[in-house]
């Protein structure tokens, strides 16, 4: 492109400055049309509360690998997040602590089904305040000195639903029903036990690392409740499916999976990676 300056056109420094700025602006426009980087994307991820620590831990590595994609999180119970999505919350991805919530969204055509995949799994554990005597078996919960047992809400909290299934399978639910106190997400359950406001609680194995004020009494038999898989999927409300797919792929990278395991999660079924 050729620029011509006619004699007498640039009579003052002000005119010269304006002309130079115009030329620079045109050059920048041309460069932009030739492929200058576009502005970055911010993803909003709705994720189960039990994923709080691990997802926040992996985010810096994701940003280093993909500096034009920022990630913000909305952590809550999976049932609550599902309700928000059904009501039109503008999320890009959803990571649930139970497959049946993702099933609901898939039936309603609110996820891209070809993007759905499990990213990790977990186990239930019985916890007690770190300054209390340890319990050794599930029937210890029937002891009279165990007066309050914190669990997730059976209606909306996957950890609570897995707990309900376990207590039903073991036929213990009717005996301890009156002792149960319910949290709105699994981190509330952890906090209640950590504060000494419950004598015991049932949470995911991965949650225990978030508090020094609790300890694991024992791991609950996984044969007594459904497999705890965390499915993730891209929502149809996403504003940038390519960026969302990039994030989802990152969750399954070997280094990311090792981070999940450092935070107490289990390897995916069929994985030969050590826990």
- Give 201-250 pLDDT, tens digit per residue: 999 999 998 899 999 999 999 999 999 999 999 999 999 999 999 999 99
pLDDT digits (tens, 9 = 90+) for 240-263: 999 999 999 999 999 999 999 999
pLDDT digits (tens, 9 = 90+) for 180-207: 999 999 999 999 999 999 999 999 999 9
pLDDT value, residue 271:
64
For residue 116, pLDDT beyond 60: yes
Average pLDDT score over the chain? 87
pLDDT value, residue 208:
92
For the beta carbon of residue 2, count every other beta carbon within 10 angstroms.
3
Domains 41-121+228-262 and 124-219 share a fold: yes
pLDDT digits (tens, 9 = 90+) for 121-178: 999 999 999 999 899 999 999 999 999 999 999 999 999 999 999 999 999 999 999 9
Tell me: domain 41-121+228-262, CATH 3.30.499.10, correct?
A: no
In whole angstroms, what separates CA 151 from the centre of its chain? Answer: 20
Output the DSSP codes for 68-120: TEEEEEEEE-HHHHHHHHHTT---SEEE-SSHHHHHHHHHTT-B-GGG-EEEE
| Residue spans per domain, the chain | 41-121+228-262, 124-219
Separation between Cα atoms, residue 236 and residue 88, nearest integer Å? 10
Higher pLDDT among residues 12 and 87, named by residue: 87
Separation between Cα atoms, residue 208 and residue 212, nearest integer Å? 8
For residue 22, pLDDT beyond 90: no
For residue 119, pLDDT beyond 60: yes
pLDDT value, residue 209:
85
Classify domain 124-219 at the CATH topology level: D-Maltodextrin-Binding Protein; domain 2 (3.40.190)
For residue 50, pLDDT beyond 70: yes
pLDDT value, residue 39:
55
| Cross-strand partners of 151 | 182
> In degrees to the nearest 10, what's the CA dihedral of 76, 69, 120, 141?
-20
For residue 113, pLDDT beyond 80: yes
Helices 99-107 and 78-86 pack at an angle, to 10 degrees, of 10
Q: How confident is the model at residue 40 (pLDDT cuts 50, 70, 90)?
A: confident
Query: E strand or H helix at 147, and its extent?
Result: none
For residue 273, pLDDT beyond 90: no
| Cross-strand partners of 214 | 129
| Cα angle 219, 224, 226; round to 5 | 100
Separation between Cα atoms, residue 128 and residue 180, nearest integer Å? 14
pLDDT value, residue 19:
42
For residue 33, pLDDT beyond 90: no
């Amino acid at each position: 492109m050729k620029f011509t300056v006619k004699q007498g056109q640039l009579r003052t420094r002000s005119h010269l400055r304006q002309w130079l700025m115009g030329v620079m602006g045109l050059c920048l426009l041309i460069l932009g049309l030739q492929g200058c980087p576009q502005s970055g994307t911010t993803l909003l991820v709705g994720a189960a509360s039990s994923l709080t620590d691990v997802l926040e831990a992996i985010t810096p590595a994701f940003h280093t690998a993909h500096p034009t994609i920022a990630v913000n999180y909305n952590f809550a119970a999976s049932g609550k997040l599902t309700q928000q999505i059904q009501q039109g919350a503008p999320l890009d991805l959803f990571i649930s602590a139970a497959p049946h919530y993702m099933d609901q969204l898939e039936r309603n055509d609110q996820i891209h089904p070809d993007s759905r995949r499990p990213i990790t799994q977990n186990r239930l554990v019985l916890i007690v305040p770190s300054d209390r005597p340890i319990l050794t078996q599930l029937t210890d919960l029937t002891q009279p000195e165990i007066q309050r047992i914190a669990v997730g809400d059976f209606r909306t909290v996957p950890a609570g639903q897995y707990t309900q299934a376990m207590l039903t399978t073991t036929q213990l639910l009717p005996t301890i029903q009156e002792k149960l106190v319910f949290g709105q997400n699994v981190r509330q359950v952890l906090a209640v036990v950590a504060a000494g406001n419950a004598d015991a609680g049932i949470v995911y194995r991965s949650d225990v690392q978030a508090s020094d004020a609790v300890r694991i009494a024992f791991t609950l038999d996984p044969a007594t409740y459904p497999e705890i898989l965390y499915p993730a999927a891209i929502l149809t409300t996403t504003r940038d499916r390519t960026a969302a797919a990039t994030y989802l792929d990152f969750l399954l990278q070997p280094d990311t999976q090792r981070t999940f395991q450092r935070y107490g999660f289990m390897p995916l079924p069929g994985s030969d990676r050590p826990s």
